[in-house]
Structure 1
Amino acid sequence: MSSKGLFAAFLLFLGTIIAFNSLYVVTEYERAVVLQFGRLVDMDVKPGLHAKIPFAEKVRKFDGRLLTADMVEASFFTVENKRLIVDSYIKWRILDVEAYYKATGGVEDLAVDRLAQRVADGLRNQFGRRTLHDVVSGKRDELMKEITQSINEEAIKLLGVEVKDIRVKRVDFPAEVSRPVYDRMAADREKEAREYRAQGKEQAEVISADADKQRAVLEANAFRDAERIRGEGDAKAAAIYAAAFSKDPEFYSFVRSLNAYKTSFGTKDDLMVIDPNSDFFRYLKNAKGKN
């Protein structure tokens, strides 16, 4: 290759390097600043394609989306002087790129550390003014709202970031008191369970007694009705028998004597000592019952 060709290739290579170092892109979810020899010259670069002075200017990009940072578990005391272990997290994003870069040098971990210190101080102050019930369930939303508002003002001013939300993931007692607390809770639940069982047993006995009473009443009424119906039936049967036998009294006496013979001489071993001339043998001597 000739010297002119080498020179052209060198110029092309140099131009490519200069172009590569002169153009940069900032996406929609990024925030960026431009430094010229370490000095800020563009505090908030808008999204799009931009040009810079190669080798003289440097672009620093930061994530402009909503970020989540988990806080280190910390120990706080309530107004009742009860110690709690709190696990929390924060939602934040860069609001003022210039202030953010000046305060943290663009290091995200440093921003999170400084936010964590302020969140811990805010939680400590808020927990110290509230009872255990308030921080666990009663007024947790109000507590988080106050902490977020108070910390957000300082975060915007000092760090250039906006705190969107602070949430407590878990509130626990220290390990040395957790077991006694859980044991006491279990004992309370067991006591409550015993009370419910006793109430259930009492209600069951009341229901059983009422059922037995109703059963006795039903049986008594049924027996009364059965006896009444049986008596009415017997009365009707007696009336029918009386009406039937009254038409022929002699035949009635004959049938009654046959039934008496049948009953008296049911087996061969039956023995009776009776005067042969008594009325008992009247129909044996004469079919018409005449002596």
Structure 2
Amino acid sequence: MKRATYILPALVIAAAVALASIFIVDERERALVLQFGSVKSVKDEPGLYFKIPFIQEVVRYDGRILGLPTQPLEVTPLDDRRLVVDAFARWRITNVIEFREAVGPGGEQAARDRLDRIINSAIRQVLGSVPSQRVLSEDRTSLMNQIRDQSRREAEALGVDVIDVRLTRTDLPEQNLAATFARMRAEREREAADEIARGNEAAQRVRASADRTVVEVTSEARKQAEVIRGEADAERNRIYAEAFGQDPEFFAFTRSLTAYQRALPGSNSSMVLSPDGEFFNYLNSERGSAPAQPAP
């Protein structure tokens, strides 16, 4: 009975010591075995491992690719035009021993703070050596590659690898936006005024050409109408001449009738003339007598 009383606590202690000496490394992480702060071993592969309980400790680090969004940074390019830049970096721990020695107990958060300073410094140096137009253009891959390479060289001492750096935003500071927008608006209004002026000029040319075409067509039509009218008058006169030559008396008679018709156009028209006037000479002539002069 007394032996069972001692065996049970011993088994509990043994089980606790066994559990304290066993640790598992996940495939997504890397582990360091430390003894009194010094690195004893590195566990890169996933699996079950052992350590000395209460003497050794295990520190785990993420073995995946990590992201780091930087804080907004104001830079001054080569043309002294200030810009606000945001960046996003991807990095990974490549040497856990160097990483532990560089960041100490601070771990990944301390590494992020130091990487943020390294990347910001690289952004200032690279973007400060080019004009702002190149920074604001869509083709800035070479600039991001330069920032990545410079950050990678400086981050090697931390035991990390900077895989990529991307500029997510490049804007003007708030105090410069109003002036920039006003300048852009003035430029667009000037371009609009130029387009309107060119449109009005083109419209004037089209109208002038149309007016000239109208004048030319009208003149040509009038000329053709005059020619046709002249030809018709000549033909009419020729017919009259032929008719007069065939029967002068009848021709005189028809001209007198036409004169009477034109002189008395309405039903209530009246004329006061002498009966023996020349206007009635043809009517006063007797049948079979000599032809009278036609009424003028």
**Is the contact between residue 23 and residue 49 of structure 2 (CA under 8 Å) also seen in structure 1?**
yes
Structure 1 residues without counterparts, runs of 5 or longer:
none
Q: Could you tell me which residue of structure 2 aligns to residue 189 of structure 1?
A: 188
Q: Could you tell me which residue of structure 2 aligns to residue 53 of structure 1?
A: 50
| CA–CA separation in structure 2 for the residues paired with 1:283 and 1:55 | 159
Q: Could you tell me which residue of structure 2 aligns to residue 282 of structure 1?
A: 282
Q: Could you tell me which residue of structure 1 aligns to residue 206 of structure 2?
A: 207
Distance of aligned partners of 1:183 and 1:279 in 2 relative to their CA distance in 1, 3 Å threshold: closer
Distance of aligned partners of 1:71 and 1:59 in 2 relative to their CA distance in 1, 3 Å threshold: closer
Q: Could you tell me which residue of structure 2 aligns to residue 132 of structure 1?
A: 132
**Is the contact between residue 87 and residue 171 of structure 1 (CA under 8 Å) also seen in structure 2?**
yes
| CA–CA separation in structure 2 for the residues paired with 1:241 and 1:204 | 54
Q: Could you tell me which residue of structure 2 aligns to residue 35 of structure 1?
A: 33
* Aligned-residue offset at 1:118: 0.7
* Aligned-residue offset at 1:82: 3.5
* Aligned-residue offset at 1:20: 11
SS in 1 for 2:137: helix
Deviates more, 1:78-87 or 1:220-229: 78-87
SS in 1 for 2:166: strand
Q: Could you tell me which residue of structure 1 aligns to residue 170 of structure 2?
A: 171
Across the two proteins, how many residue pairs are aligned to each other?
279
Q: Could you tell me which residue of structure 2 aligns to residue 148 of structure 1?
A: 148
Q: Which amino acid aligns with 2:147?
A: I
Task: Normalising by structure 2, report the TM-score.
Answer: 0.76
SS in 2 for 1:52: strand
Q: Could you tell me which residue of structure 2 aligns to residue 107 of structure 1?
A: 107
Structure 2 residues without counterparts, runs of 5 or longer:
none
SS in 2 for 1:72: coil
* Aligned-residue offset at 1:84: 2.5
**Is the contact between residue 25 and residue 43 of structure 2 (CA under 8 Å) also seen in structure 1?**
no
* Aligned-residue offset at 1:269: 3.5
Q: Could you tell me which residue of structure 2 aligns to residue 75 of structure 1?
A: 74
Task: Normalising by structure 1, report the TM-score.
Answer: 0.77
* Aligned-residue offset at 1:139: 7.0
**Is the contact between residue 32 and residue 96 of structure 2 (CA under 8 Å) also seen in structure 1?**
no
Q: Could you tell me which residue of structure 1 aligns to residue 222 of structure 2?
A: 223
How big is each residue's C-alpha offset from its partner over 1:213-261, in whole Å with a ceiling of 9 and x where there is no partner?
2222222122222222222233333333443454333222222211111
* Aligned-residue offset at 1:72: 0.5
**Is the contact between residue 33 and residue 98 of structure 1 (CA under 8 Å) also seen in structure 2?**
no
| CA–CA separation in structure 2 for the residues paired with 1:146 and 1:164 | 12
**Is the contact between residue 31 and residue 97 of structure 1 (CA under 8 Å) also seen in structure 2?**
no
Instruction: Tell me the C-alpha RMSD between the 2 structures.
Output: 3.6
Distance of aligned partners of 1:101 and 1:281 in 2 relative to their CA distance in 1, 3 Å threshold: farther
